Amino acid sequence: MKSLVLCLIFILQSFPNLLQANLSADYYSKTCPEFDQTLVQIVTEKQIAAPTTAAGTLRLFFHDCMVDGCDASILVASTPRKTSERDADINRSLPGDAFDVITRVKTAVELKCPNVVSCSDILVGATRSLITMVGGPRINVKFGRKDSLVSDMNRVEGKLARPNMTMAHIISIFESTGLTVQEMVALVGAHTIGFSHCKEFASRIFNNKNEPNLPEGMNPKYAAELRKLCANYTRDEEMSAFNDVFTPGKFDNMYYKNLKHGYGLLQSDHAIAYDDRTRSLVDLYAANETAFFDAFAKAMEKVSEKNVKTEKLGEVRRRCDQYNDYQG
């Protein structure tokens, strides 16, 4: 039976227009009326205790939803027989606090409403609440997703942008999921919070002999400070820098302002600021935070509703890190 379901999932992922999600804002109003209140309370406590939770959860959201839709496949732990998305190379640096907050919400909700609320809805809801908590726009999310029956490391490559990709390549990745260039530029504004590991931008500030290098378009003083910060990055892989050096914990439009003054951290940041297809949008969002917030919220809502699993195409996992039929 499960093989038949997996076959159906493959067909619907190949032809996403056949999949119509039955989502609604009040999906749990009768089956788990305390869901939203419980979620908000727990993510608030977690964000206060670990201020990087918001950025980490937002990144976890993208790494889940950009690969076959928001289905909590990123949360599944690998087994001796199957390596899950979570252990794909690009996902190994996803922060533990993000996984932890989802686990905490799931545990609390299961005590109140067993086998009702999906892990994918918890991830979407937590991301929404955390963005607002750190100053970002309100995102009108809907619920009713089911959790995936598949999590395969091999499905990840090519669906997530990397900082050293060309702008044409990054645009093609977003367009392959139905997102426009305008939506892509708005979503990249998520870099207004969080940090990046030094290894992700080391090639910009050091040459191939590990000697100082001044990247095109980067503020010289900023580059010098980054070199000091990341001097030992080859020995300490956890070395990192804030994506937004001025307001790293606040969701605002400072990321775009930084780009215009040479404070873009990643190669992709520099590219988006100067590419003819994206420069005017960077200028718009740098000048108008309301325009950025509106565009970001709408793009997030679109991402959260694409290719979701509903009804028989998924399940409500009892544990977010394993399928219900897992035998150990």
Pair 195, 243: CB distance under 8 Å? yes
Q: Is 152 annotated as a binding residue?
A: no
Sorted by sequence, the CB contacts under 8 Å of residue 9 that are 6+ apart come out as 148, 149, 150, 309, 313
Pair 43, 101: CB distance under 8 Å? yes
Q: Is 191 annotated as a binding residue?
A: yes
Which residues pair with residue 322 across a beta bridge?
319
Q: Is 69 annotated as a binding residue?
A: yes
Pair 301, 141: CB distance under 8 Å? yes
Q: Which of 304, 305, 12 is nearest to 149 (CA)?
A: 12
* Residue position matching structure tokens 């939506």: 183
Q: What is the maximal distance between C-alpha atoms in the chain?
A: 62
Q: Left if phi > 0, otherwise alpha if psi is -120 to 50, otherwise beta: which for 296?
A: alpha
Cα separation, 145 vs 278, in Å, equals 33
Which residues pair with residue 240 across a beta bridge?
197
Q: Is 247 annotated as a binding residue?
A: yes
Q: Is 73 annotated as a binding residue?
A: yes
Is 169 catalytic? The answer is: no
Q: Is 64 annotated as a binding residue?
A: yes
Cα separation, 249 vs 135, in Å, equals 9
Sheet strands (E) in the chain:
195-197, 240-242
Q: Is 85 annotated as a binding residue?
A: yes
Q: Is the dihedral of CA 97, 98, 103, 109 positive or negative?
A: positive
Concatenated DSSP letters for 196-253?
A: EEGGGTHHHHB-TTS-B---TT--HHHHHHHHHHTTTTTT-TT-EEESSSSSTTS-SS
Catalytic-labelled residue, pool 63, 169, 261, 270: 63
Cα separation, 145 vs 307, in Å, equals 10
Which residues pair with residue 289 across a beta bridge?
none
- Residues noted as catalytic: 63
Q: Which residues are annotated as a binding site for heme b?
A: 191
Q: Which residues are annotated as a binding site?
A: 64, 67, 69, 71, 73, 85, 191-192, 244, 247, 252
Q: Which residues are annotated as a binding site for Ca(2+)?
A: 64, 67, 69, 71, 73, 85, 192, 244, 247, 252
